[in-house]
Structure 1
């Protein structure tokens, strides 16, 4: 449309005295209808005070047909002889028309949205960008209050308040907002500067603003914030499923309306990755999904179920290509995929109506593909773009590393636990002298399985060894070291060493292992051990500790306490002796051996925990198994940071009716009498069937003690689950089994003993040695 300018003249009383052709074209009034009339009669709205004072501004007139028209008026006073205005020359241009000045064109063509308001927050001027944002022409906005021109009442109030604040205070304001605009299809971030416009006297006559669309920077900051949040919220546990759930929770609903995470089958197993070819249809298992809608109606697959993804599907394409794949409504693969998912959706569930954008991202870590993440937008207005794909790949990469870490941890934990269980005693041997119950709880912490162990070892003379130990460390190396120490303890126990000597040999072994360059793990870990021996005949308990917590003792009267002992250094320190503690126990006493995971925790005092242990051990229960559960429930921390081993043993005694002892003079003539006394004792016990073998064993062992040993010589028979024959003498020289030659007169005695008895051996005593042999009292089976 051709630009039309108008001109008119007006006297000092506001009466129109002249009217141009342009004025007629703009208003429809011919000169003969307006000349002589008051200019005010043509106004459709009162001009602003600022426009009257400045003699320029937007003024709304009423056309001849009654329609309003906004014109930009400029009045130039005509001075009389006295210097006072005798009239005015008025020029007018349509609002939004081309600017004639450089400054005006700069304002009109600015790339940022710029507007000018009067002090009552009515539009006086807008540039082209502002009009595009508002979606209407400048003419439609001039003279209108700002709140009338927007639909977002909440944003309108905040924006309107800032405009009023500038007009009232005369101070500029910076305003950040996130809102939509009439001509925009989504919300945008705006950075707005508002400042006062003053006249020559400094009085505020209007408010100007410039609004910069900072959406790109805003979304970039949002993506960066999401990445920072992901670093803190993804991978808080070493659990594969929980890690996938954390990824879903992070993305819904901020990034997507629905997100699912599906993994390859092998990821959830205990085995390492098998050869996988990601061609054709791919089977994935759903581990996590989430939706902005309650009930997750978009899910076509239940959690934990496996599903087949066709080769054309976006998830299968993403897995094959190793990068994000984006699809939009209308694309063939997208429509085919959505249709198949709708057909697969459970009955009664809402189909994926309204899905307009889909993004699938492979989960890859350390060059290995683990699964795929699918993000769907329904209510979210924007389709996924290239920046969204880059963000999704970064988030998926972080999540994949965490999932792979969790998978590796689960695999190592499973391996370590299997190793640990294979090394721990599965079923403790039946004992007549102690009743035992035990518990082992592997650590659930991120550190992994520890090296706690326990054992019950039968010894000669119906004695029994109780052992508990702890390798300081976690994981497979710790379990392997525990297995070594457990085996070493059994080997040393078979030699029948006293507790303090056994720990000395065990300490030497750990020191040797630590010095081996191939076994750095042992050098770093160290270990503790408690070794105790109970003798049911004397009812004495002898124990020694290598840096291990002392056991608790519950007497038959119901009182409990910790056993006072001198704890030596942990195994591997070397150079320091271990001290044995000996005490007599009433029959029916309960000895509790445990590892430090039961009582030590960073959030509680060890002394208080051991007091709780002693109290819990006094609880009345039907069995030791039940007492184990009671103790763990009362003492165990809510989240144990280490493995826990607990071993309870209730003592029994062998009375004088089950033990017979004879002092033997060191003369061969007394062998026959000793043999006869033993036979008579067997008859009294009702063990006549064992008399023949016992006579041979007694004769051989007593004869050897007289010939090669030193007084005092003592014979002892013990009737337990087996029949035990012991001969003690004052010599420390132990006999050795050897094979006699054809013409040797001797050397066959011990070989005969070994053939006739279940097992035999020797042990050192403080006053010499003891040779023993055991016979089974159960009838032979054929």
Structure 2
């Protein structure tokens, strides 16, 4: 009976063989009907038809010659088709379903044919049972080889995708630069994945600094684009150009909805972007042998906002994008969007902080005689952001000047804003003519108060500050430091090195509280160069701080010997000391001291006797006549009379009168009583109380300056024709 079945199946195979191509067509027709998504690619369909013919032929050969089908070689086209499906991202379950469907259809056709060849039911049943067993054996044998070929390709593909994902993690976001990050996304995208990548960002994002909901046709700017192959079609929009997409186009819809889209390009005239001042240009013609056939549209989202659109296109790569490609590209684009948003936020905050900081720093030279100054502020080039470095030059009474440099710990807007508050506080305290140590004590209280105010936000405030006061009349420099590096000073008589300064006690940083500050004082020759700076000037990974300070001292000494201007000295210091990549901000203030001509400072020592007031008036008149300032004699005599009278009546001896002729005329009266006078409104029958009111009306500025031995009441008048003596 077994021989009869084998003979019958051989006969069946011979009968069917002439119709194998026809039957292969029937198998393909059924598979197309049940799995249409597999055969959209006509080239793939042709391979599938050839594979089906080979399967039918191989199966019939096994039946005709009674061979073991599990030892038969699988048709090469079957393995090729499995690899093609793997490249296209077709799930293995779908592939096996198509494989089983084709063989079941062939089995059904053979059953029908067997029933027509004989009326012997037993033979037919036995033949069908043999056919089923043989078919399943063939399917199982073929499926193993097909799955193996499929898995090999899928494994390589998954490795490529894992490599691409790792490359994206490594190569995207290396800097906090928006354009650079977009270029990195484009470069990664064309690395064994897409043939053309473009990155567009919303114009409002770049212009206003913050994302806005996209409109129907939002204005975009092409930030980056990259082609993988020479000859691939380029985008009609150049890098840096602004453009829009038509409202009904797929890119515009992807931006509006925020949904990633896999687009099959079936027409050569797909919508192209248009510039704002021109209609949409036609799609760029490609060579006749290739054209863009699939595109991934990926809205760039970060922190709930839409930033722009990235597009991945394929032209020469044969296989179109699939759903897995869309997921991979979506992951890469999502990562890039976060980096782009980080770069945007950093750039916006850095620009804002830098603008704020520059607006808070001195905007021009201060009108004063005591020193000639030059300054530089250089923000760091690191990701850390703008720091809280600052400097200032403040004109004080008596032709003196205050030189300030400080550094707020921290980065960004908070540090810049804190710097502005501290600089304002220093100026306010400087107007009180406080000693350097007293000023830093008050500034320390300000920082402690700020710490308490911002304690809820967890922000810590700390700062360093150096405050120096130079008097050109005595050439004395008084200085105190709150945790700040001391200045470097080069004098004309110091030879080849900077002057040896007296020990400067460096106090604690601002914000600690309860610890004292000390004022150091020394005399400087006229023409001395002072360099006040923040620690960013002397920080260098290639050398220690000691070596940097030595280099700073030598460079400043050379600038002094060479009679460089403060501006030239600034440039030389920055050139010699700064590394190529700064890790911190740098604030530098260079000042060259001047000295008042002794003939323009007149001092009179007065006895503690009201009769000395007339002598003070006479001394004033004679001095102003010698200086050619007769037009100021009347007002100055009145002020001197009132100030000297108050010092003799309410102060303590000794009493001194000093007149200073500089760009202004200053009257100073000294006594050893620390009590400061104040303005008050005198009643009708009061005999006194009008002196300071008179001084305030006649003087342009007036005030009190406290010192270790007493106080000075001063009044300043502007000259009719301002000039330096």
TM-score range, shorter chain: 0.7 to 0.9
How many pairs are equivalent? 607
Q: Which residue is equivalent to 1:421?
A: 358
User: What is aligned with 1:572?
Assistant: 511
The SS at the match of 2:657 is strand
Please name the residue that 1:612 is paired with: 551
- In the aligned structure 1, how far is the partner of 2:409 from the partner of 2:289? 55
- Name the structure 2 match of 1:253: 191
1:484 and 2:430 aligned: no
**What's 2:181 paired with?**
243
**Equivalent residue, structure 2, for 1:596:** 535
- Structure 2 match to 1:327: 263
Residue correspondence of structure 1 range 537-576 to structure 2 within 5 A: 537-557=473-493, 559-560=497-498, 563=501, 564-576=503-515
CA deviations on 1:394-440 (whole Å, 9 max, x unpaired) are 11111111111111112222222222122222124221111111111
Match of 1:430, SS state, is: coil
User: Which stretch of structure 1 is more off in the superposition, 654-663 or 502-511?
Assistant: 502-511
Structure 1 or 2: larger strand share? 1
- CA deviation vs aligned residue, 1:416-474 (integer Å, no higher than 9, x gap): 22221222221242211111111112233222111111111111111111000000001
Classify the secondary structure of the residue corresponding to 2:677: coil
User: SS at the partner of 1:410?
Assistant: helix
Alignment of 1:431 onto 2:368: yes
C-alpha contact (below 8 Å) 1:133/1:184 kept by paired residues: no
Which structure has the larger Rg over C-alpha atoms? 1
- Answer yes or no: is 1:763 the counterpart of 2:705: yes
Q: Evaluate the alpha carbon distance shift between residue 436 and residue 743 of structure 1 in structure 2; reply closer, same or farther with a 3 A threshold.
A: same
Kept in 2: contact 1:329–1:335 (CA 8 A): no
Structure 2 unmatched runs, 5+? 8-57, 91-144
**Counterpart in the other structure of 1:384:** 321
Change in 2 beyond 3 A, CA 1:100/1:770: same
Taking structure 1 as reference, are residues 604 and 745 closer, same or farther at Cα in structure 2, changes over 3 Å only? same
How much does 1:338 deviate? 6.3
* 8 Å Cα contact 1:253-1:291 kept in structure 2: no
Matches within 5 A, 1:521-540: 524-540=460-476
Is the helix fraction higher in 1 or 2? Answer: 2
Q: Does residue 309 in structure 1 map to residue 245 in structure 2?
A: yes
1:98 and 2:35 are equivalent in the alignment: no
Structure 1 partner of 2:74: 128
1:728 aligned counterpart, secondary structure: strand
Q: Counterpart of 1:392 in 2: which secondary structure?
A: helix
Q: 2 CA distance for matches of 1:689 and 1:104?
A: 129
Give the 3 Å change call, closer, same or farther, for CA 764–129 of structure 1 in structure 2: same
Decide which moves more: 370-379 or 621-630: 621-630
1:671 aligns to what? 613
Helix, strand or coil at the partner of 1:382: coil
Quick one: distance in 2 between partners of 1:351 and 1:708? 104
Shift of 1:294: 4.8
Instruction: Tell me whether 1:658 sits opposite 2:595 in the alignment.
Output: no
Contact 1:323 1:393 in 2 (8 A): no
Determine which structure has greater relative contact order: mean sequence separation of CA pairs < 8 Å that are 6+ residues apart, divided by chain length.
Answer: 2
Counterpart of 2:650 (choices 689, 703, 708) is 708
Q: 2:409 aligns with which of 472, 475, 484?
A: 472
Shift of 1:684: 0.9
Indicate yes or no: 2:232 matched with 1:299. no
Structure 1 Cα separation of the partners of residues 620 and 64 of structure 2: 135
SS of the residue 1:531 aligns to: strand
Q: Which SS does the other structure have where 1:747 is aligned?
A: coil
Q: 1:713 touches 1:729 (CA, 8 Å); kept in 2?
A: yes
Q: Structure 2 length normalisation: TM-score?
A: 0.77
Does residue 447 in structure 1 map to residue 384 in structure 2? yes
- 775 and 380 in structure 1: CA distance in 2 versus 1, 3 angstrom threshold: same
1:684 is aligned to 2:626: yes
What residue is the counterpart of 1:230 in the other structure?
A: 168
SS of 2:702's equivalent?
strand
2:270 to 336, 343, 347: 336
Q: Secondary structure at the match of 1:232?
A: helix
Cα–Cα, structure 1 residues 134 and 394, in superposed 2: closer, same or farther, change >3 Å? Answer: closer
1:412 aligns to 2:358 (yes or no): no
Equivalent-residue separation in structure 2 for 1:671 and 1:310 (angstroms)? 89
Pairing 1:290–2:253 present: no
SS of aligned partner of 1:752: helix
Q: How many angstroms apart in 2 are the aligned matches of 1:576 and 1:700?
A: 40
Structure 1 520/102 Cα, relative in aligned 2: closer, same or farther at 3 Å?
Answer: farther
Query: 3-state DSSP class of the match of 2:668?
Result: strand
Question: How much does 1:308 deviate?
Answer: 2.0
- Tell me the distance in 2 between the aligned counterparts of 1:681 and 1:630: 44
| Structure 1 counterpart of 2:447 | 510
Task: Give 5+ residue unaligned stretches, structure 1.
Answer: 7-93, 109-126, 136-178, 189-208
Tell me the CA shift for residue 339 of structure 1.
11
- Shift in Å at residue 282 of structure 1? 3.5
Q: Indicate if the aligned counterparts of 1:282 and 1:310 stay in contact, CA closer than 8 A.
A: no
Q: 1:352 to 1:414 in 2, by over 3 A?
A: farther
**Contact 2:490/2:528, CA 8 A, preserved across alignment:** yes
Residue matched to 2:570: 628
Measured after TM superposition, the shift of residue 270 of structure 1 is: 3.7
CA distance in structure 1 between the partners assigned to 2:302 and 2:510 by the alignment: 41
Q: After TM superposition, give the deviation of residue 771 of structure 1 in Å.
A: 0.9
Counterpart contact for 1:186–1:381, Cα < 8 Å: no
Equivalent residues of 1:529, 1:546 under 8 A apart: yes
Distance 1:487 1:339 in 2: 52
The equivalent residue for 2:32 is none
Shift of the 352–262 alpha-carbon distance from structure 1 to 2, 3 Å rule, reads farther
Per the alignment, do residues 455 and 276 of structure 1 end up closer, same or farther by CA in structure 2, a change over 3 Å counting?
A: same
How far did residue 573 of structure 1 move? 1.4
Distance 1:545 1:504 in 2: 11
2-structure distance, mates of 1:295, 1:426: 54
Which residue, 581, 585, 593 being the options, matches 1:643?
585
Instruction: Give the whole-Å Cα distance in 2 for the aligned partners of 1:433 and 1:698.
Output: 24
- Asked whether the equivalents of residues 197 and 313 of structure 2 are also in contact (C-alpha less than 8 Å), the reply is yes
**Partner Cα separation in structure 1 for residue 289 and residue 609 of structure 2:** 103
Cα RMSD of the aligned pairs, angstroms, is: 3.4
**In the TM superposition, what is the alpha-carbon distance from 1:687 to its structure 2 partner?**
0.9
Partner residue, 1:361: 298
- Asked if structure 2 preserves the Cα contact closer than 8 Å seen for 1:180 and 1:187, the reply is no
1:259-299: CA deviation from partner (whole Å, max 9, x where unpaired): 1101110121244334542x2x3321100011123597513
Cα 1:187–1:492 change in 2 (3 A) is: closer
Equivalent residue for 1:724, pick from 666, 669, 692: 666
1:128 alignment partner, SS class: coil
Kept in 1, the 8 Å contact 2:88–2:322? The answer is no
Following superposition, the deviation at residue 688 of structure 1 comes to 0.7
Q: Deviations over 1:107-155 (max 9, x none)?
A: 33xxxxxxxxxxxxxxxxxx114464479xxxxxxxxxxxxxxxxxxxx
- TM-score, normalised by the number of residues in structure 1: 0.72
Equivalent of 2:434 in 491, 497, 505 = 497
Shift of 1:621: 6.9
Give, in angstroms, the shift of residue 349 of structure 1.
9.4
